[in-house]
Structure 1
Amino acid sequence: MQRKIETTQKGRVLHKFVASSVDGQDEHLPDSDSDSEDLDLSIPLQGQMFCADEQIIPFKRKSALKCYNPKKHKWGYKLFALCDVYGTVYNSDVYTGKIVPKPYHRDIGASGNIVLQLSNIISSDQTYLLYFDHWFSLPLLFVELYKRGIGAIGTIRLPRFPGCAFTSNANLKKKGRGTYEEKESAIENVNIRTIKWFDNRGVILATTFSSAEPLRKTERWDKNEKKKVAIQKPYAVDIYNKFMGGVDLLDGQLAYYRIYVRLKKYYMRFFYHFIDK
């Protein structure tokens, strides 16, 4: 069956979306047409961007809510936060050991349920985009956000996306840094694109509003040539790197101005943390 190529506008960015095949199998996407130069490829407004990520409130005393996190502060309370690119918090939720979906939300799994709860405040009558990492990414999360009018993009774990297979990192390394692959599939009539880009290692993203093209350029150090060389970077990877760091920016600001008070009551640690924010 002949496929139809159409141009769609989403978040002030025009992309070419290719309808999925009849059998629903993932397949490689063709290169963009020559008329892609006529498209408006401007970056979406920063006010449209939200990112969901976890936070740690440092706390070392005894508490049933205390969690261990090797990446940030070793011990503390875990929160999930929804921020914009400037680090402004719009919604947050405290992790208490179990994530239960709201009665009006579809149960898509613990990591996806928390994103649906945080994104309740995002209006569906405008185009907003939501960024998150591989811990939150689930196929049904992209579907539910799309149905609410929210574009989503995030790094993924391949075992969570059955049927999505890419070339191994070893084979991509032979082709050189900057090599990428792009596939598209439909889940509940929602088109989800998955992109694998090889830099020092393979990075895989999924998105409902962006694509690999138009390609961007970035510089990397080449050990053989002893200088920086330009390699290609997919557009989806480029905007993900630019707009994903809102919660990390907030953590950096809190580290400078955190209220340090010796506390015994756990709720006072939450109180001072919310004042800091």
Structure 2
Amino acid sequence: MLFDFNIYQGGDGTRSYLGQGGDVVMKLFSTLAKNSNYKIYADNSFTSVPLLEKLLRWELQYTGTVRQNWLLNCNIKGEKELKKEGRGSFDFRVEDTHNILAVRWFDNRAVTLLFAHTCVEPLRMAGRWDKKAKKRIDVSMPAIVADYNNHMGGIDILDSFLAKYRFRIRSRRWYIYLFCHFLSVALVNSWLMYKRECRLLQLPDKKMLLQRKFQAIVAECLVSVDSDKKRGRRTSSNPLITKQKVVNILCADVRKDQVAHWPAKSETRGRCKLCETNNTNTMCSKCGVRLCFVDGRNCSVDFHA
């Protein structure tokens, strides 16, 4: 779920000793609540030893891959040495002052990580495909690598959600693309929050709305809210007495917007949407549902309150 973002606008001539990547991390970190035990994961574009030292002063836990030429005076085994030892081999070094740990692990290639809140052990096993043996084998993996793989990649998952139902627009104004992009991000964030609430309520996955259905309901509510449905051509003086299927609008934002919820009579009687016990031929012209409107019982007012 996207919490904050920073649009790249080019350099402004000012840069701290952390570098451009470190400055981005510190700027995004400034919007988080202090002393909340956050864990930050990033790739090698942002990770450096000075950044970890500064984050440790804020008691923040950081894990990230790092480029080999950014580890100065670190006598750790190189990729060629680890390759001779085989897949699953690793080497690590500890910085004494801040207790920062550097680990280099070899799989198909060597990867180097910096962190200061966990250990190399216990070793875990990862399934890999061996081209020579033509079968899957178990490769030993340090605990920090497994932790990094489990938590890294949130932006990639978000991008995959955005790519499924992206707004197809063409405009010469660049800010229109930004507006549509962040509108899509807001929809995905809302859908993820909806799924989280459903899991807290222990609802089965089959009853949860898919992303496409959720986005369609939100679009329908945004179009219908504060609308009296006066546009378009009607086939009858009463829009409810037609052979066309009436689409029920039950979104709370539309149901309670207090706009154009006029009562209308239908040719047939049906069960009241609110009390679900009485039959009535009175309908809401906007919501398209039957609601009791008789002496002593006014479900129409309670339904829209």
In the superposition, the TM-score normalised over structure 1's length comes to: 0.63
Q: 1:133: how far off?
A: 0.3
Equivalent of residue 177 in structure 1, options 65, 87, 92: 87
**What CA distance in whole angstroms lies between the structure 2 residues aligned with 1:160 and 1:265?**
40
Q: 1:100: how far off?
A: 6.7
Q: Which residue of 1 aligns with 2:11?
A: 98
Unaligned runs of 5+ in 1: 1-87
Q: Which residue of 1 aligns with 2:236?
A: none
**What CA distance in whole angstroms lies between the structure 2 residues aligned with 1:263 and 1:185?**
52
Q: 1:152: how far off?
A: 0.3
2:55 corresponds to which letter in structure 1? Answer: L
Aligned pairs for 1:1-277 within 5 A: 88-98=1-11, 107-186=17-96, 189-277=97-185
**What CA distance in whole angstroms lies between the structure 2 residues aligned with 1:144 and 1:100?**
22
Structure 1 consecutive aligned stretches of length 4 or more whose deviation exceeds 4 Å: 99-102
**What CA distance in whole angstroms lies between the structure 2 residues aligned with 1:126 and 1:96?**
30
SS at match of 1:197: strand
Contact 2:39–2:62 (CA under 8 A) maintained in structure 1: yes
1:200 corresponds to which letter in structure 2? Answer: N
Bigger proportion of residues as strand: 1
Contact 1:215–1:235 (CA under 8 A) maintained in structure 2: yes
Contact 2:66–2:114 (CA under 8 A) maintained in structure 1: yes
Contact 2:120–2:143 (CA under 8 A) maintained in structure 1: yes
Q: What do residues 170-203 of structure 1 show as CA deviations (whole Å, max 9, x unaligned)?
A: 22122110001111114xx422100000000101
Identity of aligned residues (%): 32
Change (3 A) 1:100 1:193: farther
Q: 1:236: how far off?
A: 0.5
CA-based RMSD of the aligned residues comes to 1.7
What is the total number of aligned residue pairs between the two structures?
185
**What CA distance in whole angstroms lies between the structure 2 residues aligned with 1:244 and 1:218?**
17
**What CA distance in whole angstroms lies between the structure 2 residues aligned with 1:216 and 1:99?**
45
Contact 2:92–2:102 (CA under 8 A) maintained in structure 1: yes
2:100 corresponds to which letter in structure 1? Answer: I
Change (3 A) 1:99 1:184: farther
Q: 1:95: how far off?
A: 0.5
Structure number with higher relative contact order (C-alpha < 8 Å, ≥ 6 residues apart): 1
**What CA distance in whole angstroms lies between the structure 1 residues aligned with 2:164 and 2:14?**
35
Unaligned runs of 5+ in 2: 186-305
In the superposition, the TM-score normalised over structure 2's length comes to: 0.58
Q: 1:128: how far off?
A: 1.1
SS at match of 1:211: coil
Q: What do residues 29-74 of structure 1 show as CA deviations (whole Å, max 9, x unaligned)?
A: xxxxxxxxxxxxxxxxxxxxxxxxxxxxxxxxxxxxxxxxxxxxxx
Change (3 A) 1:237 1:145: same
